[in-house]
Amino acid sequence: MQAAEQSVVLEDVKLTAKRIFNLITADLAQVEAEFERQARSNVQIIDYLGDYLRESGGKRVRPALTILSNYAVGGDGSRYNSIRMGTVMEFLHTATLVHDDIIDGADTRRNRPTVNALYGNETAVLMGDWLYMSAFETSLAERSLPILDILTRVTRKMTEGELLQLTTLGKTDISEQHYLDIIQRKTAYLFRACCEVGAILGGSSEVEQKALGEYGMNLGMAFQLTDDLLDFTSTGDALGKEAGVDLLGGKVTLPLIYLIAADASAAEMVQTVMDEQKYESVSRDRLLEAVDRVGARVRARGRADEYAEDARTALDVLPDSEYTESLRAIPTYVIDRDR
């Protein structure tokens, strides 16, 4: 393919990515209404925090994956059970964010104060637990053992990922494989679960469900790799939360793993930032320069691109439709985003 033709194709993919959510706008509006309904409680603080978290927004990528996967296998993603399970996935995701913010000591997310910053860790822990339990209570209405198996597995994997990450905090000798294992558990398994549940609700074949599971897993890896890269390279205004906090919190992500592998002396710089918990003796710009000098940023982006391509390839077994094409466009949307 000529360079000019390839450029046009890439632009078309990006254009499609912008339209992804327009295709299911009405369905996502139902998810918002269902989120509001499920978050209601006669306990005032829960009712208030449920609204606060819902209004904090987010891309709603996980419900979108559930609904699009349903449509892609010939189902009706607008049916109530699909909307309900899309909301369950957003509840699980929101619960992990609430707990993550406690662990990270984060004060802002999506340009708003976190629950722990507003009400303290105790309230935030319990709110996260409430969201988890509400998600499982709602999912029971499906009376589906395969779906419950998926949800229990993904919740266990996410918890394992958090625990594994805690064992690496403050360490510079993290291998690429160990890092990838952590983000697979923390993020990718939930993407996979969204696609698998959507497929089951849409009446998919076993081959289609497996393909969508592989798609979700690879997409989740590309998403988290990009997220970690953005934390390292972007600005707080672009992200909607503080930038560069992963390293301040003791987390060494892929660009720095590649940097240390290429230049062992860089480990001292990285360790200094983690020990001081601020970019003082070693500036963020200095670290970025070191990362770019050895090509670590480009290499990390390349890994995200590989997972994105694997996600697209996994969809080849699905029937052609506008929903399959939307799923195919999401990986480009994910790795090209700026927040």
At residue 235, the pLDDT reads 61
At residue 97, the pLDDT reads 92
pLDDT of residue 276 exceeding 70? yes
Q: What DSSP line would sit under 273-320, residue for residue?
A: HHHHTSSSSS-HHHHHHHHHHTTHHHHHHHHHHHHHHHHHHHGGGSPP
Reported confidence tier of residue 338, pLDDT bands at 50, 70, 90: low
At residue 252, the pLDDT reads 95
At residue 242, the pLDDT reads 58
Residue 80: both structure tokens together: 């109530």
Task: Give residue-wise pLDDT tens across range 75-96.
Answer: 999 999 999 999 999 999 999 9
Mean pLDDT of 219-229: 96
Mean pLDDT of 86-109: 91
Question: Is 82 inside a domain boundary?
Answer: yes
Q: How far apart are CA 29 and CA 321, in angstroms?
A: 22
Question: Is 4 inside a domain boundary?
Answer: no
Question: Is 201 inside a domain boundary?
Answer: yes
Question: Is 94 inside a domain boundary?
Answer: yes
pLDDT of residue 119 exceeding 80? yes
Question: Is 176 inside a domain boundary?
Answer: yes
Which domain does 216 fall in, by range? 10-336
Question: Is 319 inside a domain boundary?
Answer: yes
Pure H helices in the chain: 3-23, 25-38, 44-55, 61-72, 80-104, 115-119, 121-139, 145-168, 176-183, 189-201, 206-233, 236-239, 245-248, 254-262, 266-276, 284-293, 296-314, 322-336
pLDDT of residue 240 exceeding 90? no
At residue 221, the pLDDT reads 98
Mean pLDDT of 41-62: 88
Q: Is the dihedral of CA 127, 129, 133, 135 positive or negative?
A: positive
- Range of weakest confidence among 116-120, 129-133, 244-248: 244-248
Mean pLDDT of 42-51: 90
What's the CATH code of the domain at 46?
1.10.600.10
pLDDT of residue 3 exceeding 70? no
At residue 58, the pLDDT reads 77
Q: Phi and psi at residue 108, in whole multiples of 5°?
A: -135, 150
Q: Which residue has the tokens 């309904």?
A: 37
Question: Is 59 inside a domain boundary?
Answer: yes
Q: How many domains does the chain have?
A: 1
Mean pLDDT of 267-276: 95
Cβ proximity of 213 and 181 under 8 Å: no
Residue 171 CB contacts under 8 Å (≥ 6 apart), including other chains = 250, 252
At residue 339, the pLDDT reads 64
The contacts found for 238-245 with CB under 8 angstroms, 24 or more apart, are: 238/338, 238/339, 239/339, 240/108, 240/109, 240/110, 240/111, 240/339, 241/106, 241/108, 241/109, 241/110, 241/111, 242/106, 242/107, 242/108, 244/279, 244/284, 245/104, 245/106
pLDDT of residue 199 exceeding 90? yes
Mean pLDDT of the chain: 90
Question: Is 300 inside a domain boundary?
Answer: yes
H-helix or E-strand spanning residue 113: strand 112-113
Reported confidence tier of residue 233, pLDDT bands at 50, 70, 90: confident
